[in-house]
Structure 1
Amino acid sequence: MRKDLRSGCPINLSLELFGDRWTLLVLRDIVFGGARHFRELLGGPERISSNILADRLATLVEHGLLTRSGDPSHKQKVTYSLTEPAIELVPVLAQLSAWGVRHLPATREYAARAEVLTAGGPRLWETFMDELRETHLGPGARRRPTPDGPAVAALLRLDGPP
C-alpha cells in the first residue's frame, strides 16, 4: 500500500488503487473473461505489456483482491484467483459498463455484456458473484443455491456473444 496517500477519503483511496489505466481491465479479464494465468491476461484485447501486467497483478495481490497460487511441478504456472473484495466489485463493473454504453462509443460485443448486466440487475449480479465465489474461492463458497438454467458466467464471457 502506498504510504503517500492524498487523503483518507474513500473515493480517493479507491482511485489510488483503481485509478490507473490497467488495474480494472486486468480485473475485468479475470471476472468476465475467466483468465486465471499470466499468459491469458497478457493476451487481452488492449494488449498490456508484460512488465505492466506483472506490476498490476502484484498490486492486486498486495491489496488482497487476488491470491496467487503456484503449481509445485511447474514453477512458472501461477494461478490467480479473485478474493471476496474483488468479487464484490461486480456491481461497480456493471454500473461502469452501463455508463460507458450510454455515453461512450462502446463496441457491440462489450455493449451486449453491459446490456445483459443492466437488464439482469442486482439479482443477476448476485448469481454471477456466487459463480465467481465457487470458481475462485472453492466449492461451498456460494451464498445462494445454484440457480436452474445456464451459468451466468457463460452469458458474460468476453470471448463469445452474451
Structure 2
Amino acid sequence: MKEITKRSECPISFSLEFLGDKWTLLIIRDIVLNGKNTFGDFLQSAEGIATNILTNRLKMLEEEGFIMKYPVAGRARIGYCLTEKGVTIIPIVIEMALWGASQIKSDLKKEFATALRKDKVGVIKQLTSKQTQIYRLHKSEAESRGL
C-alpha cells in the first residue's frame, strides 16, 4: 500500500504525495463527476484500472478518511462516497478538469463546461453540497453495520 510520507513542511509536496497518483484522482473524479460508487463502477472507467490497484487505492482513501464504505440498498454490494474530508478535494478536481479541457479535445460535457465557465464557484458549491448529502445519508447506516 502507498504510504503517505511527509518529506518536508511544503504543502505542495505533501499534496503531491497524496494526490500525485493518477488513480486516486480518477476515483475521486468518478465519484464526483460520473456518479460511480461501486468497485464494478470504477472498473468500467475508460482508463482501465487493474483490480489490485483499485483495491489498493480504495483502501488508502478509506484509511486516510477521504472516502467511506456503505452498504448499497437492496444489493450485497459495498458503495463508496466522499467523506467531509474527501469533499475538500472537489475544487482541485474541478480546476484540473478545466485546465485539462483547455489543453486537449476533451470528453467534458459541453453543458458542464459552460456552467463551469459561467459560475465555477457555484458549480463547486453544488457538487460539494451533493456529495456532503450523500455522505450524511449513508454515514449512520454504515456505522450501524460496522463498515
Relative to the length of structure 2, the TM-score reads 0.80
User: In 2, distance between residues paired with 1:36 and 1:9?
Assistant: 32
- In the alignment, is residue 110 of structure 1 matched against residue 111 of structure 2? no
User: In 2, distance between residues paired with 1:114 and 1:52?
Assistant: 30
Gaps of 5+ in 1: 140-162
User: In 1, distance between residues paired with 2:42 and 2:48?
Assistant: 9
- CA deviation vs aligned residue, 1:103-140 (integer Å, no higher than 9, x gap): x2132x3163344323222122112211221122229x
User: In 2, distance between residues paired with 1:4 and 1:64?
Assistant: 16
State the number of aligned residues.
136
User: In 2, distance between residues paired with 1:124 and 1:38?
Assistant: 27
Partner of 1:46: 47
User: In 2, distance between residues paired with 1:10 and 1:115?
Assistant: 31
Relative to the length of structure 1, the TM-score reads 0.73
- CA deviation vs aligned residue, 1:56-84 (integer Å, no higher than 9, x gap): 1011101110011346x976x11111111
Deviation of 1:20 (Å)? 1.2
- Which amino acid is the alignment partner of residue 123 of structure 2? L
- Which amino acid is the alignment partner of residue 101 of structure 2? V
- Which amino acid is the alignment partner of residue 126 of structure 1? K
Partner of 1:93: 93
- CA deviation vs aligned residue, 1:18-60 (integer Å, no higher than 9, x gap): 1012110010001111111100111111111111111110111
Higher share of residues assigned helix? 2
- In the alignment, is residue 138 of structure 1 matched against residue 137 of structure 2? yes
Residues 115 and 12 of structure 1, relative CA distance in 2, 3 Å threshold: farther
User: In 2, distance between residues paired with 1:138 and 1:44?
Assistant: 25
Q: Aligned runs of 1:1-162 on 2, under 5 Å?
A: 2=3, 4-70=5-71, 77-102=77-102, 104-107=103-106, 109-110=107-108, 112=110, 113-138=112-137
Identical amino acids, percent of aligned pairs: 30
